[in-house]
Amino acid sequence: MVMLTLGILGSGAGSNMQAILDAITGGTLSARIGIVLCDNPEALILERARRQGIRAEVIDCAGHRMKFTEEAQQETARKLNEAGVDMVCLAGFMRLVKRPLLDAFPDRILNIHPSLLPAFPGLEAWRQAVEAGVSESGVTVHLVDAGMDTGQILGQEKVMVFADDTPETLHSRLQVAEHRLYPETIARYASRLNL
């Protein structure tokens, strides 16, 4: 059986990348991380990857704070293909993926989002949940399409919201669920695709 090669796109600390790596090391995810790409040269995810001997590079977004330019997406697709990537996993990546990257990996780009989609798409979903006063939130792994957190849902896990929760306390519990759900869903989806 050919081993699944993952490409990780991140913007921050890389805790979900670490959870994926821990699942690989622990034998629950039969894969390797071929490359980590990040749009923030100062992000901890780059250092985490390099410490593990994983190729880690910066995505040049030409000074745009939020926009993922077509040129940057083409370069990202080129680097992912060069690394032999079968599936792309967004791990706290803060830019909206569109074409041409979607075309390069059709139905093979996954994202983890800290809410029970379709509730609370977009930024700081944990803050949205607390401010809305809901009693339940959770995390979702979904396919990435051209919308904001609108792709097909592949897996979800519920997390209770307590009356005394702050955005920070809820976010902390959501991350625990993310770190469990993401590697499990990657493994399940890869077997479905026969990757």
The residues carrying an active-site annotation are: 113
Bond prior to 183 in cis (omega within 30° of 0): no
Rounded to whole angstroms, the Cα distance separating 68 from 96 reads 7
Measured CA angle at 8 (ends 88, 63), to 5 deg:
105
* Distance in angstroms (rounded) separating the CA atoms of residues 89 and 176: 18
Look-up of token digits 């700081």: 124
3-state class (DSSP) for residue 97:
coil
Supply 6's token pair: 């993952």
The Cα–Cα gap between 21 and 9 comes to 14
For residue 159, the surrounding DSSP H or E stretch is: strand 153-160
Q: Which residues of 16-36 are buried (b: 16+ CB within 10 A; e: fewer)?
A: bbbbbbebbeeeebebebbbb
